[in-house]
Amino acid sequence: MKYLVVPAVVFGLLNLGTAQADLSEKIDDQINTLAEQVVAWRRDIHEHPELSNREFRTSKLVAEHLTALGMDVQTDDAHTGVVGILKGGRPGGVVALRADMDGLPVVEKTGLPYASKAVSEYEGNTVGVMHACGHDNHVAILMAAAEVLASVREEIPGTIKFVFQPAEEGAPKGEEGGASLMIAEGVLQEPAPSAIFGLHIGQHGLAGTANYRPNGFLASAQRFDIKVQGVQTHGARPWAGVDPVVVAAQIINSLQTIVSRQIDITRAPAVVTVGSIHSGIRNNIVPETARLSGTIRTFDPDVRLAIHEKIYRIATNIGEAHSAQVTVEIDPGVPVTFNDADLTESMVPTLRRVYGAENVFMSGRITGAEDFSFYQEQIPGFFFFVGGRPPEIPPDKAIPNHSPYFYVDEAALVPGVKAMSHLAVDYLEQIAAAP
């Protein structure tokens, strides 16, 4: 689909009526007064990250802020989630804005003055905790958007739900959490939004840019866990046992042939990655077990099912060939992040007005995953990326999310606040203007 490219100011004049243009100006003026505050919130949250389903300090900060703004506030949704409801002064529809709050089990190495020194427990291990995926920025952006929109509530035609969600990175093993649990507990009800918007920051683009894609945008993702049960023996007498390390190594190597040799990659991209392997405690003992854990990324449901079947078959057959017992678990994971095409087409002009048409780009598919996709299975949703790369970092040196060195240019924060604020108001204005 092609779009007319015009200067951002002209775009605003073409698409906004006088009253809406006045409201847009008020929103921008209010956002500009919060520029220092949104940075302060972001740095505070960055310095105090919390793991999935453990976002106690963050949710308290958010709840107190929304309460002070005079919103109806719901807490403890999906363990630590917070929902604020802002009722506008004009009748209209309902829209939701979402930010994720959790950090990752990563030891921060950025050297920033507000770098995290937090330590927690993850799957039985003591770990450092870091906002290595930028969720601190998302929370600060939505907190600022809440304050801005609350300041003009009498002019808003409808209701805005601010959804601060825990556990986007996945609930700890054995627990429920994230978007799916928030939905099960009624976050999309009473009042029921007819659309939801979300963003994600990264160094893929310069600060001050945004990108999006209609239809399938981010991949579906599932975690897989493989346990290899061998027979322990002395390292000097391996024939007396069954070595799970050797079996695990062969499984890992063979899993790499699924995408490279067994899937038609012209149909849709796919990824199978083993991210961890744990076995043994001493150099001269053949251990009893080995455990592998990894991730599957796909864009096509048939390809996803085929990969699942091949993982089971490869792992169990290799185990049988070596007299080892192999069990495979694949969790349901998250579906494809799918941007409703009509909603995307209607909201992209808002991004262009905020960022300038020359700074908004159509994206290719991204093999990262987002549990925002669960909301999009229930109602139309629009998810987009905002650039956070500092100008001194060239594109080929961009630091990926989940890296211990990940950081963003804070110049991306104010445009992010503007994008979320205007998306909400523009959407509600479109509903109000509909026949």
Strand order in the sheet with 220-229: 270-279, 289-298, 220-229, 325-330
With beta carbons less than 8 A apart as the criterion, state whether 85 and 161 touch.
yes
**Packing angle, helices 18-33 and 35-47, rounded to 10:** 50
Q: Is 154 exposed, middle or buried (0-12, 13-18, 19+ CB in 10 A)?
A: exposed
Q: Is 409 a catalytic residue?
A: no
Q: In terms of DSSP H, where are the helices of 69-130?
A: none
Beta pairing partners, 297 = 221, 271
In which residue are the tokens 């523009």 written? 426
Calpha distance 209→206 (Å, rounded): 6
Calpha distance 101→171 (Å, rounded): 12
Q: Is 309 a catalytic residue?
A: no
Which candidate in 100, 168, 370, 409 is catalytic?
168
Question: What secondary structure does DSSP assign to 296-343, as a single string?
Answer: EEES-HHHHHHHHHHHHHHHHHHHHHTT-EEEEEE---B--EEE-HHH
Which candidate in 102, 300, 370, 409 is catalytic?
102
Q: Quick one: which of 234, 329, 236, 323 has its CA closest to 280?
A: 234
Catalytic amino acids?
A: 102, 168
